[in-house]
Structure 1
Amino acid sequence: MTDYEARKTYIARRDESMRLVDQVFDSPFKVADLKVPDEIPLDAKPLFLSLVSDDDRKILQIPPMELLEKLKSGTLKAVPVAGVFCRAAVVAQKLVNCCTEFLPDLALMYAKKADEYMEKNGKPMGPFHGFPLSIKELYALEGRAAHWENPDLINNMQTDNAVLVNGLLELGCVPFCRTTAPQFLMSIESFSPMHGLTTNPHNTSLSSGGSSAGEGAMIAIGASHLGLGSDIGGSIRVPAACCGIYGYRPTNGRVPITGADSLTPGYNAIAGVVGPMASSADLITLFMESIESLELWKRDTFAERSAWVPVNPKEVTVGYLLDDGHVKPHPPVERAIKEFISKMEKAQLPFTVKFKPFTPMQHEEAWKIITGLYFPDGGQFLKDALTNSGEKATDQTKMIALENPNCVEHSVKSLYAAQDVRNKYKTAYQKHWKDQGVDVVIMPTVPSAAIVPNTTKYWGYTCVWNLLDYPATIMPIGKVQESDKKDESYTPRNDLDKAHQDLYSPETYANAPVGLQIVTPRWNDELALKMMEVFSHAM
């Protein structure tokens, strides 16, 4: 199928499912034909709230954990709440272009199951009873296409749900929409020729980040509280940071990935993972506790046997990294992290937290290693897919693969050698971490607050942890301020750094969030989330 035909199919499915929302959920507030301004304001969140109905707004503004308790207690019924979030997703789509498909039929079916279970048994069906769930498009849903923003796969119909989706359905979740990503999902931006640009609700001149672009925008604008993303270089963490929400990249194997595993089956040079994005730190912890209780490793050959074991430390040493030595963060990022540390040093935390500087170990080398292993075929799969459909490669696809000097076609021998370099770096970094005497590292997520579209040339602040397979969480810690002036005396270290610094002015990034990345060694996921919870509550 050509890219033109695929885009027509994509839009037809999206718009038909949009109309279905009004048909499935009976409400005087009709959204399919809702008119929005031709020019969306920089901050789209107030407009979003003004466009939804008064009744829907009351539900949407209930704090997430309170909403969950109301559903679990039966104070709110799942069916009307599902309708609210389906309609909200349509409004969000019209403002920031974040949805690939709406799921009112599934939402109604699973919401009815929750309500019927409550009525019959007098208790919730699970820890997420009736709770709305948005889902990144790559996750398999039975009877629906999973195309990965690749026209070649527009009719790639799935015969089952992803393992994680089935688990969440058992826990009581109600799926209500699918969300956007960039071309081939290989960018920390949000543009795809299939759907266009997903914009940032805090500043619509900026990208929402990627590749879990639609999830970031949906949750940030207030149309979802809990969503599913994926991450092979920062694709959960970057949009979470750019959009001022929470996100979690787990250790590989802790969350089942089958059904959302790879655009290129058999690839495993760098481990991709799936995980949650949310409006609340508490939701992410509940997600992990609940998922691991299902023992989904019994259903997914790629999931490791694990159980969530809460940690209650007496003392934690937190290393802070303000600059990776290759690309210097913009002024608001450094300022926000310094202010965060100062605030936490004065806060009444439940245990002792000591902060000390953390020195990065050759993060520029990590960038070279991982970008040399993303496409061991030299990008041939991408070239073939583009040739088949006629779609043009985006600049971001060119940057990471087609014009990347690190991306070469490997022989078996050279691939083994490249993976040996990867393994030696991982071993050296483990020792480096231990030698610095820290339990946790906090640092920027991206070296800017959100992203100017089509400018990204480096995501080393996140992908180093994919290379090492260290779990990392994201929490919002502030926004760009007018006082965050550019340091005119700074001399860039290299061309990449110069291009990054040239982008900055506080006006360009006005109102953009700053997200903090919290990292721990492999299999220390519980500690990463514990620190996110403690810090977010202290904020």
Structure 2
Amino acid sequence: MIEDYKKIAAAKRQQRLDAIPKEWLIEIPDEDNLLSLPETCGVLSEKELEITGKYDAVGLLEKVHAGELSAYEVTLAFCKRAAIAQQATNCLTEIFFDKGLERAKELDAIFAKTGKPVGPLHGLPISVKDSMNIKGIDSSIGMASNSFKPEKESSAIVVMLESLGGIMYVKTNVPQSMMVLDTQNNIFGRVRNPYSKHITSAGSSGGAGAIVAFRGSLIGMATDIGGSIRVPAYANGVTGIKPSSGRMPYHNLKGYWPEGEEYCGVLCVEGPITVSRRDAELIVRSVVQTEPWINDPTCVYSPWPTLPALDRPLRIGVVSSKTYEPVTSIFARFVEKVRAAGHELIDIELINANALCDNASDFYKIDGGEFLVSECERFGEPLTEAVRDAGLYPCTPGTLKDFFKNQYERVEYQRAWLKYWAETAGKTKDGEPIDIVLSPTMPALPRPTEPIGDNANILAYNVLDAPAATFPVETIEDPAAYTFEFPAPTNEIEQKIESQFAVDRGVPYKGFSVGVQIISPRLTEAKLFQAWEILEKVL
């Protein structure tokens, strides 16, 4: 053992703390909900509170591109709010405000000279998940073995976002293994949900979910191989989309598997966690319009289409699964609103649901967790509680024959899903297949921690490689008006979760926004956004 991981963790945490200006350091109040902290801590000016709190990214960019706000003042405001978010939630790994502010000055100089933005994201601060490499910055992904090793090259997605005018200024926290639904690692610790210490921030993009909920960033770039965009977005009451593989550039990201494994099997994809639907669309559309397939072999040739306005009701397949209150009632109310708005709803199944979950799990376990364990052993790191409780690693590794079998089954499940989707034409009024699927995002509200569990509504669409988005449809203003149910504990891990609930289970969810999920066929993100915009009008 070269060095104790605890010493490395202490040094990384000190480095992160030192990156926050002393005048931005605050005392965290002994309160459960910390979302009002930016307004009460005294660090942000009234104008900075407006910049960070009033707009979504699209609205903010309109101000910047009109010359009403400078990139520098916008970036400074979000640096301050991100600093508050970090102290409140532990959502960040790397802080480089100086680099972000310097880039903002450069963009302002270009705008002053040309009168034009450099691209559609000109002047927009963007947080990125720690697995996304930025030249000169660590991508530790919460491991001692990756700490104090600045990356030599930025990930393809970072290069593209910067070319579009985006400003990188922070990286967000991830769990050890990046294969669990609670963000905890030995280097930086656990991410706290800004709504409540009794609600998980989820994972593996828990840092991204927390900072976006806190509005320390309006765009949190994240990844998803088993719900890692959608579950944190859901758990933090915000919006997120998992595109299909090949849609967003994925070259040169840091991970927990041997090099190359990320390019086969169930594919991990990039996407944004955001505060609005149009922000998510802005990011995905803007990246696709750079034609990333020219430079990134992980991208497929699939230009962004210009869709005609839809002059008919949506045809929606509704997947109803086992849920718990208040998710059951909230989902039912949204479905009735959609029906009352004139859209056609038909009941469908998530076919092969259990098999899809098994297929995903078999791919996740293919290396037996050997790479993760070997990285831990280098500095004496233990597996975190979240990894141990998840039960994925360590395990018996699969063989090449197993891998081929998993791959064959995945394609057959995809083929069966396409056939089933086409056959919905036999149930609709005009004889055409459904446009989208609508389902609950999760069966219950987010709990204090979340094991991976058997959540087919999430895992299925990774195996099927279908675009899937989650967005809030109802806010719990008065918990007394709702019933709160959760799965009954069936094992020791579930019993431990039970012990972490608030005494009054409903109280932490006051003000919490509960989401639903929509899905469209592979690589039809533009159609998904179109349907999403229509559904927003229902709200």
| TM-score relative to the length of structure 1 | 0.89
1:27 aligns with none
Matched, 1:342 2:336: yes
1:321 aligns with 319
Q: Contact 1:445–1:517 (CA<8 Å) still a contact in 2?
A: yes
2:410 aligns with 422
Give the superposition deviation at 1:403: 5.5
Shift in alpha-carbon separation, 1:497–1:400, aligned structure 2, 3 A: closer
Gaps in structure 2 of 5+ consecutive residues: 426-433
Matched, 1:366 2:364: no
- 1:279-324 per-residue CA deviation (whole Å, 9 max, x = no partner) reads 111111111221112112111111111211143333421111231x
**CA–CA separation in structure 1 for the residues paired with 2:493 and 2:343:** 33
Match of 1:8 among 7, 10, 29: 10
**CA–CA separation in structure 2 for the residues paired with 1:422 and 1:192:** 31
1:507 aligns with 506
SS at match of 1:205: coil
**CA–CA separation in structure 1 for the residues paired with 2:135 and 2:166:** 16
Paired residue type of 1:340: F
Shift in alpha-carbon separation, 1:345–1:506, aligned structure 2, 3 A: farther
Give the superposition deviation at 1:4: 0.9
2:167 aligns with 174
**CA–CA separation in structure 2 for the residues paired with 1:495 and 1:429:** 33
Match of 1:144 among 130, 137, 140: 137
Matched, 1:54 2:45: yes
SS at match of 2:343: strand
SS at match of 1:289: helix
Shift in alpha-carbon separation, 1:456–1:378, aligned structure 2, 3 A: closer
Shift in alpha-carbon separation, 1:287–1:57, aligned structure 2, 3 A: same
**CA–CA separation in structure 2 for the residues paired with 1:361 and 1:483:** 35
1:398 aligns with 388
Shift in alpha-carbon separation, 1:47–1:108, aligned structure 2, 3 A: closer
1:34 aligns with 26
Q: Contact 1:475–1:536 (CA<8 Å) still a contact in 2?
A: no
Moved more, 358-367 or 279-288: 358-367
**CA–CA separation in structure 2 for the residues paired with 1:508 and 1:396:** 25
Moved more, 206-215 or 41-50: 41-50
Matched, 1:279 2:275: yes
**CA–CA separation in structure 1 for the residues paired with 2:397 and 2:436:** 37
Alignment of 1:206-217 (within 5 A): 206-217=199-210
**CA–CA separation in structure 2 for the residues paired with 1:446 and 1:400:** 17
1:26 aligns with none
Paired residue type of 2:297: T
Shift in alpha-carbon separation, 1:4–1:284, aligned structure 2, 3 A: same
Give the superposition deviation at 1:339: 1.0
Shift in alpha-carbon separation, 1:229–1:341, aligned structure 2, 3 A: same
Match of 2:347 among 345, 350, 357: 357
Paired residue type of 1:515: G
Q: Contact 1:376–1:415 (CA<8 Å) still a contact in 2?
A: yes
CA RMSD of aligned residues (A): 2.5
SS at match of 1:436: helix
**CA–CA separation in structure 1 for the residues paired with 2:280 and 2:481:** 33
Paired residue type of 2:282: L
Give the superposition deviation at 1:131: 1.1
- 1:349-385 per-residue CA deviation (whole Å, 9 max, x = no partner) reads xxx6311222121322211111111131211112212
Alignment of 1:154-165 (within 5 A): 154-165=147-158
1:386 aligns with 376
SS at match of 2:210: helix
- 1:244-303 per-residue CA deviation (whole Å, 9 max, x = no partner) reads 111110110110011226432111221000111111111111112211121121111111
Give the superposition deviation at 1:499: 7.2
Q: Contact 1:375–1:401 (CA<8 Å) still a contact in 2?
A: no
Shift in alpha-carbon separation, 1:344–1:414, aligned structure 2, 3 A: closer
Moved more, 298-307 or 47-56: 47-56
Paired residue type of 2:407: Q
**CA–CA separation in structure 2 for the residues paired with 1:493 and 1:510:** 21
2:68 aligns with 75
Give the superposition deviation at 1:164: 1.1
Paired residue type of 1:84: A
**CA–CA separation in structure 2 for the residues paired with 1:335 and 1:498:** 24
- 1:170-229 per-residue CA deviation (whole Å, 9 max, x = no partner) reads 111111211111112111212222222211122232111111111111111121111200
Match of 2:110 among 89, 105, 117: 117
**CA–CA separation in structure 2 for the residues paired with 1:285 and 1:206:** 28
Shift in alpha-carbon separation, 1:96–1:501, aligned structure 2, 3 A: closer
Match of 2:55 among 54, 63, 67: 63
Paired residue type of 2:538: A
SS at match of 2:19: helix
1:256 aligns with 249
2:456 aligns with 460
1:527 aligns with 527
Give the superposition deviation at 1:330: 1.8
Q: Contact 1:68–1:131 (CA<8 Å) still a contact in 2?
A: yes
1:25 aligns with none
Match of 2:35 among 45, 48, 60: 45
**CA–CA separation in structure 2 for the residues paired with 1:485 and 1:58:** 35
Shift in alpha-carbon separation, 1:425–1:73, aligned structure 2, 3 A: same
Q: Contact 1:163–1:259 (CA<8 Å) still a contact in 2?
A: yes
SS at match of 1:206: coil
SS at match of 2:199: strand
Q: Contact 1:44–1:204 (CA<8 Å) still a contact in 2?
A: no
Give the superposition deviation at 1:476: 0.8
Matched, 1:17 2:11: no
Shift in alpha-carbon separation, 1:500–1:522, aligned structure 2, 3 A: farther
Give the superposition deviation at 1:397: 1.8
Give the superposition deviation at 1:424: 2.0
- 1:97-152 per-residue CA deviation (whole Å, 9 max, x = no partner) reads 11112221221122012101110001222111111111111110001111222222
Paired residue type of 1:319: G
Paired residue type of 2:106: K
**CA–CA separation in structure 1 for the residues paired with 2:99 and 2:388:** 37
Paired residue type of 1:253: G
**CA–CA separation in structure 2 for the residues paired with 1:353 and 1:373:** 38
Moved more, 393-402 or 86-95: 393-402
Shift in alpha-carbon separation, 1:289–1:403, aligned structure 2, 3 A: closer
**CA–CA separation in structure 2 for the residues paired with 1:69 and 1:375:** 46
Paired residue type of 1:449: L
SS at match of 1:361: coil
**CA–CA separation in structure 1 for the residues paired with 2:452 and 2:522:** 28
Give the superposition deviation at 1:502: 6.7
Shift in alpha-carbon separation, 1:304–1:175, aligned structure 2, 3 A: same
SS at match of 2:359: helix
SS at match of 2:388: helix
Paired residue type of 1:188: L
Match of 1:446 among 442, 446, 451: 442
SS at match of 2:198: strand
**CA–CA separation in structure 2 for the residues paired with 1:382 and 1:273:** 20
